Structure 1
Amino acid sequence: MDELIRKRQNPTHQMTEKGRAIEEESFRIVDEEAGPHGFSELEWPIVRRMIHATADFEYKTLTRFSPQAVEAGLEALKQGARILVDARMIACGLNPERLALFGNEVVELLAHPEVVARAQATGGTRAEAAVAYAEEKGLLEGAIVGVGNAPTFLLALARAVERGARPALVLGMPVGFVNVVEAKRALMALPVPWIVTEGRKGGSTLVVAALHALLRLAADGGVDTSRAHRR
């Protein structure tokens, strides 16, 4: 009963009993159909939610974690780290009540006047200009960076890290055809924690799913509390 009350009060869980039952059953189905895997107890809840969000079991084989990536993300969230994203879709998809648990601010810069002006002046993409602006303002330091749309954002971020920027965690999940694979490989060679979807597949939906999974783990003390996991 205490666990049920806690879940009702915890915004990372569904608000109603019926909603929780549907989510738990969805997770159970994913666990059953996914079968054995090599992910850790902290990694699997993230991959499972990504599969849950897309109904695509290929993410079981495409998702990669650097050592201690989840732990780094959880610690950053609990310390109130900002979440810097490459697309408004990610910002819109994140639940405000869940973000409020630890006071995590979501920052999306593509429409910022200085970013737009920089892109127009240089002829580059707004994504590249957004990373340059974030680096200059110190917004990358200790941040969780979510990239679900623009490989140019991820490539620019990789160059910023090579210059010394140190985000707490990078979710490298852009989708597309041009420079997508190269951008993800560049990230995986860097000395920062990362979670990546290999190949061309990815998207803002996956970043939102991964962040919600991280927020739930952080709120639950780093433990997968779903009934599906315990069965």
Structure 2
Amino acid sequence: MDDLIRKRRNPAHQMTAKGRAIEEESFRIVDEEAGPHGFSELEWPVVRRMIHATADFEYKEITRFRPGAVEAGLRALMAGARILVDARMIACGLNPERLRLFGNEVVELLSHPEVVARAQATGGTRAEAAVAYAEEKGLLEGAIVGVGNAPTFLLALVEAIGRGARPALVLGMPVGFVNVLEAKQALMAAPVPWIVTLGRKGGSTLVVAALHALLRLAADGGVDTSRAFREG
């Protein structure tokens, strides 16, 4: 009973009993309809929440993890790592109470005056300029980087990694048609932990879902408690 009370007060879980019941029933349905899979106990909660957020079971087939990526992300979150994102939609979608659990700051730079000025001066994209600014300011080091919108952001990030930048985890999930496949392939060859959605699919919603899954895992000590909650 004490464990259930603790979970109910945990900001990584739904606030109300009805909200928790709906979410956990949704997870049960996803588990049932998804069927067998080859993901680890830490990877599946991330994929499951991505499916939950989109009602798209194809993410079971197209989501890839570098070995140890979830563990790296959990360590970073629990150490208070910043979360650098390529779109305001991601920043707006993240739950503030969950971010406060470990003091994770969300940084979105595309509207930063220096980034805008750099993009205008170079003729490049704001996404490219944002990565260059983040690299110069040391914001990439040890950060969790979520890319759900701009392939140019991800390509620029991989170039920065090639120069020695070391984010703790990269969520490479840009959506679109131009440079999307190339950006994801480049990330999968980079020497950093990553989670990728293959092909053209992705988006800010997927990054938010993955981050919320990681935050819940971190809050629960790295253990997926949804099954225990349902059985309790």
TM (norm. structure 2) is 0.98
- 2:195 match: secondary structure: strand
Name 1:47's counterpart in structure 2. 47
CA distance in 2, matches of 1:116, 1:79: 31
In the alignment, the residues of structure 1 paired with residue 176 and residue 6 of structure 2 have an alpha-carbon distance, to the nearest angstrom, of 40
Give how far 1:3 is off.
2.0
Q: Partners of 1:52 and 1:35 in 2: how far apart? A: 14
| Mapped pair 1:138 → 2:157 | no
Q: Matches of 1:229 and 1:178 in 2, distance apart?
A: 43
Between the aligned partners of 1:197 and 1:64, the Cα distance in structure 2 is: 6
3-state SS of paired residue (2:187): helix
Residues paired across the two proteins, number: 231
Q: Give the match for residue 224 of structure 1.
A: 224
2:96 aligns with: 96
Instruction: Output the CA distance in 2 between the equivalents of 1:71 and 1:229.
Output: 22
Point out 4+ residue stretches in structure 1 off by more than 4 angstroms.
228-231
Match for 2:53: what amino acid?
A
Partner of 2:18: 18
User: Matched residues in 2 for 1:150 and 1:192: separation?
Assistant: 19
Quote how far apart the aligned CAs of 1:4 are. Answer: 1.8
Aligned to 1:84, the other structure's residue is in SS state strand
Q: Distance in 1 between matches of 2:62 and 2:147?
A: 16
Code of the aligned partner of 1:115:
V
Contact 1:24 1:228 in 2 (8 A): no
User: Does the CA-based 8 Å contact 2:170-2:193 persist in structure 1?
Assistant: yes
Could you tell me how far 1:8 is from its partner in structure 2?
1.9
Unaligned stretches of 5+ residues in structure 2? none
Tell me which residue corresponds to 2:175: 175
TM-score, with normalisation over the residues of structure 1? 0.98
Q: Which residue of 2 aligns with 1:122?
A: 122
Counterparts in 2 of 1:51 and 1:194: CA distance versus 1, 3 Å: same
Show the counterpart of 1:187: 187
Letter in 2 for 1:224: D
Report if the CA contact (8 A) 2:24-2:230 is conserved.
Answer: no
Give identity over the alignment, percent.
90
* Alignment partner, residue 57 of structure 2: 57
